[in-house]
Amino acid sequence: MLYGQIHLTLPPWIHDEVDATRVYADNESRIALAIDLSRRNVAHRSGGPFGAAVFNEAGRLIGIGVNRVVPSNCSIAHAEMMAVATCQQRMQRFRLNDGDGDGDGRIILATSSQPCAMCYGALIWAGIDELLIAARSDDVQTLAGFDEGPLPADWAGELEKRGIRVQRDLMRDHARDVLRDYGESGVVY
Amino acid sequence: MLYGQIHLTLPPWIHDEVDATRVYADNESRIALAIDLSRRNVAHRSGGPFGAAVFNEAGRLIGIGVNRVVPSNCSIAHAEMMAVATCQQRMQRFRLNDGDGDGDGRIILATSSQPCAMCYGALIWAGIDELLIAARSDDVQTLAGFDEGPLPADWAGELEKRGIRVQRDLMRDHARDVLRDYGESGVVY
């Protein structure tokens, strides 16, 4: 028999520990949340050391993601994928910035680490306007031991060409701390 | 409130119209199934003109996928993603070729069109050994109007470096027919 369903979930602690009513007014508070999610995900042993969050232009939190690959038995369950897909379920649209005049304005995705090759492509289809990144790809590989996969040579330029503004190295040291702690813990998630 | 779940489904016709007990002994029958899925998905209006299937070394069909972006309101629900993720759910492991000695041998993914930038990265993490492709990226863009996104310059070489053998242009004309019919139909899915 063929399986016809995929069911992915975020861990239950997100509902207890994330304030979904708060306004995240600046990029620092947005990237800080993504990094905080990555740290909590490791502490709860609910997945790998990666977190992501989606905001509308007013700074309202409209989507959240953490890595769920091992607990879900699913290689596509990266933090960025979980964040955009849960946000799309909430909005009931497959492109977040579809310009339907609902007042969301620009859509911003903050991620604790530079997106891997899969998430990189996924963000182009997801409909985001701005990508905020904390740790670099090198940090992920050297501190936590994860391969990030092959990207186009000018990966950031290719996003900018498609209207996605990229800001890098935001609170990079904080994100590196989480990756280092994870790498040194010996946990494999 | 934040959404904490993603639930993606394949359309019900796959259970009626795909013979999951048949052995797909050669690459031609494998790619023919992927193309057949792409055609049926358009005919049933259950998603875009893309199909994919996963086989073990013996040619047993162990995963199936069609594009479900519009009906699922989910930009990650491409055919290849659905195929590997449903297969991972069936196998209960996040890497399909994890070498656990279960007799599956090499894992083969057949897809009706060259993977887009997202699916390209996803296939590296999914654990496949062989990638069979029918239509080219150019065919997808010119005949059906879909952007495939930015890839590394030597995208096939990057897969081969990671142990994934790539075979292209298999029954390309058949896959092109489906894309052309879709493009001319004016349906947007």
B16-27, pLDDT tens digit by residue?
A: 999 999 999 999
- Does the pLDDT of residue A24 top 80, yes or no? yes
Q: Report the residue from B4, B61, B81 with minimal CB separation from A15.
A: B4
What pLDDT was estimated at residue A101?
Answer: 62
Strands B165-167 and B130-135, sheet pairing:
parallel
Note the maximum CA span of chain B.
50
Which residue among A5, A20, A150 sits closest to B158, beta carbon to beta carbon? A150
| Mean pLDDT computed over B88-100 | 89
- Name chain A contacts of B3, Cβ cutoff 8 Å: 63, 86-87, 89-90
Nearest-CA distance A21 → chain B (Å): 8
In percent, how much of chain B has pLDDT > 90?
93
Give me B134's structure tokens: 């029918």
Single out the residue of A13, A6, A80, A84 nearest to residue A42, CA to CA.
A13
Chain A residue closest in CA terms to B82? A6
Tell me if B18 and A3 make a contact (CB, 8 A cut-off).
Answer: no
Q: Are strands B108-113 and B165-167 parallel, antiparallel or unpaired?
A: unpaired
Residue B97, Cβ density class (10 Å: 0-12 exposed, 13-18 middle, ≥19 buried): buried
Distance separating alpha carbons of residues A182 and A43, to the nearest angstrom: 9
CB of B61 closer than 8 Å to CB of B55: yes
Please answer yes or no on whether A118 and B118 come within 8 Å at the CB atom: yes
- Work out the pLDDT band at A61, boundaries 50, 70, 90: very high
What mean pLDDT comes out for the span A100-121? 91
**What local confidence, expressed as pLDDT, does residue A2 receive?**
87
Burial label, B60 (beta-carbon count in 10 A; 0-12, 13-18, 19+):
middle
What residue spans of B75-115 are helical by DSSP H?
Answer: 79-91
Is the pLDDT at B68 greater than 80, yes or no? yes
Give A69's contacts (C-beta < 8 A, 6+ positions apart).
A47, A48, A75, A77, A78, A189, B94
pLDDT tens for residues B148-175?
999 999 999 999 999 999 999 999 999 9
What mean pLDDT comes out for the span B47-57? 97
